[in-house]
């Protein structure tokens, strides 16, 4: 009997019922489980009708608890009134004065101008949107307080659309009595609304016994032992910092109140991923055990011996695959560490047991490389390798789908097209995803979570060349076990890296000539970030033409994203075969391309790329036993960050170190590829700043899962909202 399933369905999680979650041995006091604020709708707050409520949904605010956990992005200090005479353009300031004059100017754009003064100086308030009532309210002599950014105006300094309040006689309260929070807002929900509703929500923190209240899900022993700020105190502080609090310190996020919340947020993320792993562990997967002559044959056929790191990781995989539960393992290995052969071994273990393998890469170019390697390695062993990517059409596509559906295609290599519902596998046993970071965390989760359940899950192997510091991996990849290939094949020499200004382009061209004259090959990478792909390809074409002219004795080739796949494939194959000396390319060659005889890489405008990307690119050379170099051909002058990035590359070839420095320079979201997709965005935590909290997060996470499992879901929901439903489909 054969069950046909699609890849998408087959890696979906089980239908876990609430009741299946093991019950706790140390239940909470029943009254403590009343966490009413997390069900109390936001409409109980004054000023929140159904219209505002709908808008708040866009900020994922539905309950009073959501309001409390909608945390400020930054703060403004409006606790002091500044004399107008002391203002400078660019300042954010509170001023108080009297209205001298209000008039509507019909210039290029109709505007209401209000001149105010305070005895030390004068200021003009400029409104482009205003109504008649507003206009008449600015009576001459009326006292006013405003807050805004100071700009240079035509006659006096100005504030454009300041926040203001007309003071009535006897309204003596000067400025604000706490720092002013600035919240993430959305269209139709302004700061004033957010301030008004957080104000009300904060009052629930002082609610008497019996009233809806907020539960602290962290065990009380822990809060005491670590002298953590209590949850209500932390929330009060971050929403309304007292006047003494420093805006700069708060901006750094190191205040104990902020740290308390950051800790809880990291814990929630960690728990959500850990629980996903737990659930995966409760599922059945095919057992791949017994003798594996295919693997032995394959390893024996390679022209090199595995490094001990590769051998160790293969053992870890073998162990996982024999356990009868779905493997979920991340293999990290620096560029060139030999992840592909490790993946091939895993594939053969599955094939040996009579199962199919899906190998997926983020770009067609990389998928093609893998397809070629796998065919070369596996077909001599009698293993059928098939290709399926988005651009495949007609007969080729039908044949591939047919082979995958019948089981005749034992290893399917391709792009995310393999995840389309019409791709149905006969007996899928292992999914391999290469260069994980390009897919993004969210995609990984979504892929695992969508669809319906089935009796046996395939195993999952994820490979990445973006080394993730262990502590970060714990938060971002806590659903995966990790293996590290921490050794490069012997004989590799570090890639000598130099930064050279464009003014020395001729010398660089000469070095290409020399390398190729010595029988080696070179890459010339053209980059144009943020321009259209067309422009990028155009630039590469121009460069290729220019280089062909300078270096007529060389065979020059060009690859870019606009070529037909077959064309791209043909040119890459020619380069690999040594029929092209100099390959001009866009960053399409960034990942995975493997030509050991290429020993020189020129990267144009490296200042436009991130460190991780440069490291990836550079990893295309230094793959053989010859000394290799990389020339970073920059345009002077460099910005400070660009200079810092380039010097990191000159100093080190260690991917872990580079990733760490990259995260410092650009932030983890960018490096892990999660920024664009908008996930793994924290309300308050910061993976780099709060790295020190992570060890405790892991330990407490473990304790909570063990001893207080009933606290896990509400804690995750509080911070992740709907995302908490990952793994609970």
Q: Is residue 623 involved in binding ligand ADP (CB under 6 A)?
A: yes
- Distance between CA 647 and CA 641 in Å, rounded? 10
Report the nearest approach of Mg ion to the CB of residue 69 (Å): 40
Q: Is residue 628 involved in binding ligand ADP (CB under 6 A)?
A: no
170 touches 125 (CB < 8 A): no
Cβ proximity to ligand ADP: between 335 and 353 the closer is 335
The Cα-based distances of 343 to 31, 297, 374, 462 in angstroms read 52, 15, 10, 9
Q: Is residue 333 involved in binding ligand ADP (CB under 6 A)?
A: yes
**Count of C-beta atoms within a 10 Å radius of residue 196:** 15
Contacting Mg ion within 332-371 (CB under 5 A): 339
| φ and ψ at residue 310, rounded to 5 degrees | -60, -45
Q: Is residue 340 involved in binding ligand ADP (CB under 6 A)?
A: yes
Report the nearest approach of Mg ion to the CB of residue 340 (Å): 5
Among residues 13, 338, 669, 701, the one that binds ligand ADP under rule CB under 6 A: 338
DSSP collapsed to 3 states, 442-485: HHHHHHHHCCCCCCECCEEEEEECCCCCHHHHHHHCCCCEEEEE
Among residues 229, 259, 310, 436, the one that binds ligand ADP under rule CB under 6 A: 310
Among residues 6, 259, 274, 337, the one that binds ligand ADP under rule CB under 6 A: 337
- Residues that bind Mg ion (rule: CB under 5 A) add up to a total of 2
Cβ proximity to ligand ADP: between 282 and 376 the closer is 376
Beta strand residue intervals within 544-660, DSSP E: 556-559, 582-585, 598-604, 629-634
Structure tokens at 510: 């000469």
Residue nearest to Mg ion (CB): 592
Nearest residue to 584 via CA among 549, 532, 613, 622: 549
Report the nearest approach of ligand ADP to the CB of residue 448 (Å): 23
- Residues that bind ligand ADP (rule: CB under 6 A) add up to a total of 18
606 touches 632 (CB < 8 A): yes
Q: Is residue 304 involved in binding ligand ADP (CB under 6 A)?
A: yes
Q: Is residue 128 involved in binding ligand ADP (CB under 6 A)?
A: no
DSSP label of 159: E
Residue 357's DSSP bridge partners are: 411, 430
Q: Is residue 464 involved in binding ligand ADP (CB under 6 A)?
A: no
Q: Which stretch binds ligand ADP (CB under 6 A): 41-49, 74-82, 590-598, 681-689?
A: 590-598
Q: Is residue 335 involved in binding ligand ADP (CB under 6 A)?
A: yes
Report the nearest approach of ligand ADP to the CB of residue 702 (Å): 32
Report the nearest approach of ligand ADP to the CB of residue 312 (Å): 12
474 Cβ neighbours under 8 A, 6+ residues apart: 270, 694, 697, 698
Report the nearest approach of ligand ADP to the CB of residue 499 (Å): 24
551 makes contact, choosing from Mg ion, ligand ADP, none, with CB < 5 to 8 Å by partner type, with none
Q: Which stretch binds ligand ADP (CB under 6 A): 34-42, 230-238, 305-313, 508-516?
A: 305-313
- Distance between CA 319 and CA 325 in Å, rounded? 11
Q: Which residue has the tokens 């239908």?
A: 15
Q: Which stretch binds Mg ion (CB under 5 A): 209-217, 331-339, 607-615, 634-642?
A: 331-339
- Distance between CA 548 and CA 542 in Å, rounded? 10
Contact flags string 472-501 toward ligand ADP, x per CB under 6 A? -----------------x------------
663 makes contact, choosing from Mg ion, ligand ADP, none, with CB < 5 to 8 Å by partner type, with none
340 touches 411 (CB < 8 A): no
The Cα diameter of the chain in Å comes to 94
Cβ proximity to Mg ion: between 148 and 592 the closer is 592
Beta strand residue intervals within 217-337, DSSP E: 328-333
Q: Is residue 306 involved in binding ligand ADP (CB under 6 A)?
A: yes
336 makes contact, choosing from Mg ion, ligand ADP, none, with CB < 5 to 8 Å by partner type, with ligand ADP
Structure tokens at 621: 């050379």
| φ and ψ at residue 703, rounded to 5 degrees | -60, -45
Contact flags string 533-572 toward Mg ion, x per CB under 5 A? ----------------------------------------
Report the nearest approach of ligand ADP to the CB of residue 3 (Å): 33
The Cα-based distances of 270 to 217, 441, 445, 693, 716 in angstroms read 15, 13, 14, 12, 9
Cβ proximity to ligand ADP: between 335 and 609 the closer is 335
Q: Is residue 467 involved in binding ligand ADP (CB under 6 A)?
A: no
Q: Which stretch binds Mg ion (CB under 5 A): 85-93, 132-140, 586-594, 720-728?
A: 586-594
Among residues 307, 415, 475, 587, the one that binds ligand ADP under rule CB under 6 A: 307
Q: Is residue 655 involved in binding Mg ion (CB under 5 A)?
A: no
Crossing angle between the packed helical segments 640-651 and 655-666, to the nearest 10 degrees: 170
- DSSP assignment of 231-264 equals HHHHHHHHHS--TTS-HHHHHHT-SHHHHHHHHH
- Distance between CA 9 and CA 199 in Å, rounded? 46
Nearest residue to 286 via CA among 385, 361, 331, 352: 352
Report the nearest approach of ligand ADP to the CB of residue 495 (Å): 13
Among residues 594, 607, 686, 690, the one that binds ligand ADP under rule CB under 6 A: 594
Residue nearest to ligand ADP (CB): 338
Among residues 465, 525, 558, 680, the one that binds ligand ADP under rule CB under 6 A: 465
The Cα-based distances of 158 to 91, 97, 124 in angstroms read 11, 14, 5
Q: Is residue 626 involved in binding ligand ADP (CB under 6 A)?
A: no
- Distance between CA 119 and CA 85 in Å, rounded? 8
Q: Is residue 577 involved in binding ligand ADP (CB under 6 A)?
A: no
596 makes contact, choosing from Mg ion, ligand ADP, none, with CB < 5 to 8 Å by partner type, with ligand ADP
Contacting ligand ADP within 365-424 (CB under 6 A): none
Burial 480-501, CB ≥16 within 10 A → b, else e:
bebbbbbbbbeebeebebebee
Q: Which stretch binds ligand ADP (CB under 6 A): 13-21, 257-265, 332-340, 655-663?
A: 332-340
Cβ proximity to ligand ADP: between 96 and 594 the closer is 594
Cβ proximity to Mg ion: between 409 and 592 the closer is 592
348 touches 295 (CB < 8 A): yes
254 touches 708 (CB < 8 A): no
Among residues 13, 592, 622, 727, the one that binds Mg ion under rule CB under 5 A: 592
The Cα-based distances of 144 to 136, 174, 681 in angstroms read 14, 11, 39
306 makes contact, choosing from ligand ADP, Mg ion, none, with CB < 5 to 8 Å by partner type, with ligand ADP
Residues of this chain that interact with ligand ADP (CB under 6 A) are: 304, 306-307, 310, 333, 335-341, 465, 489, 592, 594, 596, 623
- Which positions lie near Mg ion, rule CB under 5 A? 339, 592
């Amino acid at each position: 009997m054969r069950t046909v399933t699609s890849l998408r369905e087959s890696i979906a999680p089980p239908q876990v019922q609430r009741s299946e979650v093991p019950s706790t041995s140390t239940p909470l006091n029943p009254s403590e489980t009343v966490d009413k604020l997390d069900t109390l709708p936001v409409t109980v707050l004054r000023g929140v009708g159904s219209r505002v409520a709908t808008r708040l949904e866009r900020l994922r605010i539905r309950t009073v608890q959501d309001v409390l956990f909608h945390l400020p992005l930054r703060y403004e200090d409006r606790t002091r009134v500044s004399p107008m005479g002391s203002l400078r353009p660019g300042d954010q300031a509170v001023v108080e004065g009297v209205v001298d004059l209000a008039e509507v100017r019909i210039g290029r754009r109709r505007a209401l101008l209000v001149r105010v003064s305070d005895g030390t100086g004068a200021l003009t308030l400029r409104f482009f949107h205003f109504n008649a009532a507003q206009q008449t309210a600015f009576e001459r002599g009326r006292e006013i307080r405003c807050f805004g950014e100071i700009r240079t105006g035509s006659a006096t300094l100005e504030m454009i659309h300041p926040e203001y309040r007309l003071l009535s006689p006897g309204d003596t309260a000067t400025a604000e009595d706490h720092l002013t929070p600035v919240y993430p807002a959305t269209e139709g929900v302004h700061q004033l609304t957010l301030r008004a509703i957080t104000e009300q929500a904060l009052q629930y923190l002082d609610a008497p016994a019996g009233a809806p209240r907020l539960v602290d899900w962290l065990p009380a022993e822990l809060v005491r032992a670590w002298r953590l700020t209590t949850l209500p105190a932390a929330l009060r502080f971050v929403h309304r910092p007292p006047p003494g609090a420093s805006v700069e310190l708060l901006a750094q996020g190191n205040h104990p109140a902020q740290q308390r919340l950051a800790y809880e947020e990291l814990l929630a993320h960690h728990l959500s991923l850990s629980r996903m792993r737990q659930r995966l562990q409760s599922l059945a997967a095919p057992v791949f055990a017994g003798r594996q002559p295919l693997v032995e044959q394959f390893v024996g056929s390679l022209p090199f011996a595995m490094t001990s790191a590769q051998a160790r990781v293969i053992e870890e995989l073998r162990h996982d695959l024999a356990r009868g539960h779905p493997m979920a393992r991340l293999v990290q290995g620096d560029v060139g560490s030999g992840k592909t052969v490790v993946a091939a071994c895993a594939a053969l273990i599955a094939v040996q047991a009579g199962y199919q393998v899906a190998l997926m890469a983020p770009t067609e170019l990389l998928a093609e490389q893998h397809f070629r390697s796998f065919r070369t390695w596996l077909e001599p062993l009698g293993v059928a390798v098939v290709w399926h990517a988005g651009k495949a059409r007609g007969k080729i596509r039908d044949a591939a789908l047919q082979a995958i559906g019948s089981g005749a295609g034992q290893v399917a290599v391709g792009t995310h097209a393999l995840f389309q519902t019409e791709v149905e596998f006969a007996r899928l046993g292992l999914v391999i995803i290469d260069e994980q970071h390009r897919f993004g965390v969210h995609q990984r989760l979504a892929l695992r979570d969508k669809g319906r359940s089935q009796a046996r899950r395939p195993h999952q192997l994820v490979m990445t060349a973006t080394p993730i510091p262990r502590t970060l991996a714990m938060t971002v990849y806590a659903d995966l076990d990790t293996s590290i290939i921490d050794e490069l094949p012997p004989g590799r020499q570090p890639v000598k890296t130099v930064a050279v200004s464009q003014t020395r382009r001729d010398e660089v061209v000469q070095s290409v000539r020399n390398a190729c004259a010595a029988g080696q090959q070179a890459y010339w990478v053209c980059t144009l970030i943020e321009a259209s792909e067309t422009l990028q390809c155009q630039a590469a074409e121009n460069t290729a033409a220019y280089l062909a002219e300078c270096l007529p004795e060389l065979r020059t080739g060009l690859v870019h994203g606009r070529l037909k796949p077959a064309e791209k494939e043909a040119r890459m194959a020619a380069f690999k075969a040594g029929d092209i000396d100099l390959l001009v390319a866009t960053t399409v060659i960034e990942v995975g391309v493997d030509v050991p005889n290429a020993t020189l890489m020129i990267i144009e405008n490296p200042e436009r790329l991130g460190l991780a990307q440069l490291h990836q690119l550079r990893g295309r050379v230094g793959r053989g036993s010859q000394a290799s170099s990389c020339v970073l051909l920059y345009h002077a002058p460099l910005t400070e960050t660009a200079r810092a990035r380039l010097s990191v590359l000159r100093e080190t070839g260690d991917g872990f170190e580079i990733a760490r420095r990259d995260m410092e320079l650009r932030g983890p979201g960018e490096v892990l590829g999660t920024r664009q997709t908008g996930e793994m965005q924290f309300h308050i935590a910061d993976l780099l700043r709060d790295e020190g909290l992570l060890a405790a997060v892991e330990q407490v996470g473990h304790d909570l899962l063990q001893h207080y499992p009933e606290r896990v879901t509400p804690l995750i929901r509080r911070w992740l909202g709907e995302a908490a439903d990952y793994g609970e489909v």
